[in-house]
Amino acid sequence: MFIADTPYAKTLRDHLVRSVRFAIEEDLGSGDITAQLIAEQATCRATVISREPGVLCGREWFEEVFRQINPSVELHWAKQDGDEICANDELVSIQGNTRSILTAERIALNFLQTLSGTASLAAQYAIALADKDVVILDTRKTIPGLRLAQKYAARVGGCQNHRLGLYDMFLIKENHIAGCGSIANAVTKAKEIAPDKKIEVEVESIEQLKEALALPIDVIMLDNFSAQQTAEAIALNHTEIKLEASGNMDLAKIQTLIENQPDYISVGNLTKHVTALDLSLRLQD
């Protein structure tokens, strides 16, 4: 998979370039003094391997780091985003200026291992629901500055994206409802503000669900509903409105909801409980 395969490719590419530039600035500062131990014109070959299994993600971030530091460094990939990888798999070989490779090493690996960790976790959820007609969605609970990168990684792992930010759809939650006075008031106002945008409403009870089902909205989020409540909500829904289960979801909790089959299950853990994949770069003799 590549960035070009996403519906927000241009925006993601712009974010990628800026996030890499910032990462280089915070690490490089006034210069890499340790790399100066190496002769200025020295060249080498290096490889990146995985020390554990997972799903690769972040090639284009890795490449952008080297492009900004020294575009003459050559990268030759053995894997692409979305590939399953095993411990000791060689992911990419690198040829070029030794100083540049060592300066870029940690920054490039940080992106690759973090996004691979996100994709690997997303793959676990996608596999768990592979034979079910349920879509796993990510959320906005992302690492600051890596929103679109992690959402891309969730797609690489086999899940789908919820809204990208606060701008592309309405998500009317408990505090919005309280501020507007009712669900109906909030939905009416949303239709006035941006009639072309999708509207999702969060409900915390069957009573609120019944109110929301009578309104012109697209999705209802069932916040922390039990399996029994979820089944009841699905039975009550005779509309075209989609139902989304949400609230502290993990693989164990999802297993209790699968048979009810809501349309969507949103999982904040996909992007907030991520452990970076263990990757290593080594210079070759």
Write out pLDDT tens, residues 206-264: 999 999 999 999 999 999 999 999 999 999 999 999 999 999 999 999 988 878 889 99
- pLDDT at res. 257: 84
160-266 is a CATH 3.20.20.70 domain:
yes
pLDDT bucket at 20, cuts 50 / 70 / 90: very high
- pLDDT at res. 131: 85
Beta 84-85 vs 54-55: how paired, if at all?
Answer: antiparallel
Is residue 63 part of the annotated active site? The answer reads: no
> What are φ and ψ of residue 79, in 5° steps?
-135, 160
Kindly tell me if the per-residue pLDDT of 285 is higher than 80.
Answer: no
- Catalytic residue, from 10, 18, 21, 106: name it: 106
- pLDDT at res. 259: 80
Query: What would the two tokens of residue 55 be?
Result: 């799903």
Is residue 27 part of the annotated active site? The answer reads: no
Provide mean pLDDT across the span 58-83: 98
Kindly tell me if the per-residue pLDDT of 64 is higher than 80.
Answer: yes
Q: Are 57 and 155 in contact (CB under 8 A)?
A: no
Q: Do domains 3-126+274-283 and 160-266 have the same CATH topology?
A: no
Q: Are 148 and 18 in contact (CB under 8 A)?
A: no
Provide mean pLDDT across the span 45-56: 98
Q: Are 145 and 61 in contact (CB under 8 A)?
A: no
- pLDDT at res. 255: 87
- Catalytic residue, from 63, 83, 105, 202: name it: 202
> What are φ and ψ of residue 238, in 5° steps?
-110, 25
Kindly tell me if the per-residue pLDDT of 12 is higher than 80.
Answer: yes
- pLDDT at res. 256: 86
On average, the pLDDT of the chain sits at 96
- pLDDT at res. 17: 98
- pLDDT at res. 124: 96
Three-state SS across the chain? Answer: CCHHHCCCHHHHHHHHHHHHHHHHHHHHCCCCCCHHHCCCCCEEEEEEEECCCEECCCHHHHHHHHHHHCCCCEEEECCCCCCEECCCCEEEEEEEEHHHHHHHHHHHHHHHHHHHHHHHHHHHHHHHCCCCCCEEECCCCCCCCCHHHHHHHHHHCCCECCCCCCCCCEEECHHHHHHHCCHHHHHHHHHHHCCCCCEEEEECCHHHHHHHHCCCCCEEEEECCCHHHHHHHHHHCCCCCEEEEECCCCHHHHHHHCCCCCCEEECCHHHHCCCCCCEEEEECC
Kindly tell me if the per-residue pLDDT of 6 is higher than 80.
Answer: yes
Kindly tell me if the per-residue pLDDT of 50 is higher than 90.
Answer: yes
Q: Which of 94, 113, 87, 111 is nearest to 27 (CA)?
A: 111
214-226 confidence digits (pLDDT tens): 999 999 999 999 9
Is residue 173 part of the annotated active site? The answer reads: yes
Percentage above 70 pLDDT, the chain: 100
Is residue 202 part of the annotated active site? The answer reads: yes
Topology, domain 3-126+274-283: Aldehyde Oxidoreductase; domain 3 (3.90.1170)
- Catalytic residue, from 45, 132, 173, 197: name it: 173
Output Rg (C-alpha) for the chain, integer angstroms. 22
Where exactly are the structural domains of the chain? Answer: 3-126+274-283, 160-266
- pLDDT at res. 224: 94
Distance of CA 138 to the CA centre of its chain: 7
- Catalytic residue, from 141, 191, 242, 272: name it: 141
- pLDDT at res. 79: 97
Is residue 106 part of the annotated active site? The answer reads: yes
